[in-house]
Structure 1
Amino acid sequence: MNPVSILLLGFAMSTDAFAAAIGKGAGMARPRLSQAMRAGLIFGVIEAITPVVGWLLGRGASRYIQAWDHWAAFALLLALGLHMIWNGVKPEADEPVDETRKHGFVGLALTGLSTSIDALAVGVGLAFVDTPIAVVAVVIGLCTFTMVTLGIMLGRVLGAMVGRRAEVIGGIILIGVGAVIVYEHLSA
């Protein structure tokens, strides 16, 4: 693969994470740049690891992984999306919400993992091509870091315009990303 192809692959792998980040940012009260960068780092590291794992698995089990990757991504995104929608429509509690817990490491990591299942499948495919997987993984991770950081900040603007129900929009976006993953796989 040439450098341009690797860069394009990096941005292609980060688009679903970008959409999920817009949803996450919309659900946050007022995300700061440091919070956006933290989310970008979590997503980026996960997105960089998954193609390497896929590449390792692809050495012997590619047909098994490609058979279920889209369903796993859809199930995770559906569950996270429904959870976000529920949080957006349930009555407000009288006590203040702990934003660090609501958008903490585990929630971000699960969302990052669910949007990186396609990178796992790409890694499987790259196992059969003479590709420097470490370079590809770093590029994918950096592209995802950048796109998620921007997505969180864009979600902040969207959240300010839409208000408390922005989390519903974020949940719908996550479910939509999952549906697109399944659609692309089934129509290919």
Structure 2
Amino acid sequence: MNLSATLLLAFGMSMDAFAASIGKGATLHKPKFSEALRTGLIFGIIETLTPLIGWGLGMLASHFVLEWNHWIAFVLLVFLGGRMIVEGVRGDDDAEEIAPNRHGFWLLVTTAIATSLDAMAVGVGLAFLQVSIVTTALAIGCATLIMSTLGMMIGRFIGPLLGKRAEILGGIVLMGIGSQILWSHFAG
């Protein structure tokens, strides 16, 4: 795979994390760049690891991984999105509540895993090609770091405009990503 194909793949794989990061940034109270970078690092590291895991699984049992990865991503994203929607609706009752300054580590890890399962599937596919999986995985991780950090900062500006509806919108985005993953599996 040449450099331009690797970069296109890397930024394509980072789009789910970018969309989720916008929602995460919008639900925080004026997230600082350090929080955006922290989110970007968590998303980027996980997005680097999942194609490597997928590549390893592809060498062992690609049929099983490809058969179930879309369902796992769908369930995780719908669960996380539903949780965000419920929290957003509950928050409307208490208008005095201030948005948190940062997201919990495990919430970010879970979201990152859910949005990176497509990268695992790509890793499975790359197991059958003559590519440098480490270089490709690092490119995907770096692109995700950049896009997730940028997404959090974009969310910082969208959040105040939307108020508590930002959490509801973020939940809808996560559910939409999960549905898109499932749809793309069945559509083709």
Structure 1: stretches of 5+ with no match in the other structure: none
After the TM superposition, list the runs of 4 or more consecutive aligned residues in structure 1 that deviate by more than 6 angstroms: none
Query: Post-superposition shift, 1:93?
Result: 8.5
Instruction: Please give the per-residue CA displacement for 1:126-146, whole angstroms capped at 9, x wherever unaligned.
Output: 000011001001100000000
Q: Which residue of 1 aligns with 2:67?
A: 67
Match of 2:36 in 1: 36
Secondary structure of the equivalent of 2:164?
Answer: helix
1: CA distance, partners of 2:94 / 2:134: 46
Which of 91, 94, 105 is matched with 1:92 structurally? 94
What is the distance in 2 between the residues matched to 1:184 and 1:47?
Answer: 20
**What is the distance in 1 between the residues matched to 2:101 and 2:156?**
14
Letter aligned with residue 33 of structure 1: F
Equivalents in 1 of 2:99, 2:14: separation in Å?
30
Unaligned runs of 5+ in 2: none
- Work out the CA distance in 1 between the residues paired with 2:36 and 2:100: 17
Q: Distance in 2 between matches of 1:156 and 1:98?
A: 12
Q: Determine helix, strand or coil for the equivalent of 2:163.
A: helix
Letter in 2 for 1:47: E
Q: By how many angstroms is 1:94 displaced?
A: 7.0
Aligned to 1:173: 173
Number of equivalenced pairs = 186
State the 1:60 CA deviation: 2.1
Contact residue 55 and residue 123 of structure 2 kept, 8 A: yes
Aligned-partner SS, 2:60:
coil
Structural RMSD (CA): 1.4
1:20 is matched with 20
Q: What is the CA–CA distance in structure 1 between the aligned matches of 2:14 and 2:96, rounded to whole Å?
A: 37
Per-residue Cα deviation, 1:137-165 (whole angstroms, up to 9, x for no partner): 11000000000011111111111111122
Alignment TM-score, normalising by the size of structure 2 = 0.95
Distance 2:130 2:67 in 1: 23
TM-score (norm 1): 0.95
Aligned residue number for residue 155 of structure 1: 155
The equivalent of 1:8 in structure 2 is 8
Q: Which amino acid aligns with 2:106?
A: V
Partner Cα distance (1:111, 1:187) in 2 = 24
User: Does residue 129 of structure 1 match 2:123?
Assistant: no
Displacement after TM superposition at 1:92 (Å): 2.6
- 2:29–2:99 contact (8 Å) kept in structure 1: no
Q: What does the per-residue CA deviation read over 1:15-62, in whole Å, with 9 as the maximum and x for residues that have no partner? A: 011111111111111111110010000000000000000001101211
